[in-house]
Amino acid sequence: MRHEITVRVNGVSETHTVADNQTLVSFLRDTLDLTGAKEGCNEGECGACVVLVDQKAVNSCLMLAVEADGHEVTTIEGLGRPDQLHPLQAALLHHSAVQCGYCTPGMILTAAALLHQNPSPTEADIRAALAGNLCRCTGYRQIIDAVIEASSHVRANATTEPRMPRRLQ
């Protein structure tokens, strides 16, 4: 069975017909060509597919596209701009917390959800929030340090975060 859905993705309203069993990660990657969310384990264990749905971190491999109907979805492509990185993106670069990059979009979006909910997280809060995001390259110390740094920037600049157009033209 197929369903028409309307989802606001990175600030752009998208209306498409999807199969009732299509996952959100598949919809984002295959229909919208937004490849930041990665298909890792497809079991919700690795966090590579995390996106924000109404500002909450969601494993998009476990959510059906039809469940996103009427909601706001933010992918890594919509979190910053090349000329103005989101504080989390800048902090991960500053702390050398990016190596292969496979887990990075999910890590950043999970941390963004945390900072949206709690702009002053403790290290324990950050560790708990990132517990569902696996990284095999960097270790977690640099990532945690980056989130701590970004939290100070988010608090200092408590404004609407910049958004990048869904597709680079």
| Topology alike, domains 2-78 and 87-156 | no
Q: Is CATH 3.10.20.30 the right assignment for the domain spanning 2-78?
A: yes
Cα 135 to Cα 4, 17, 62, 97, 102: the distances in Å are 36, 34, 20, 10, 8
pLDDT below 70 — which residues of the chain?
Answer: 159-169
Q: Where are the domains of the chain?
A: 2-78, 87-156
pLDDT at 93: 93
- Range 87-156 has CATH code 1.10.150.120: yes
**Which residue type is seen at 90?**
A
Instruction: State residue 159's pLDDT score.
Output: 53
**Residues 6 or more apart in contact with residue 107 via CB below 8 angstroms:** 47, 50, 92, 130, 133, 135, 143
- The model scores a pTM over 0.85: yes
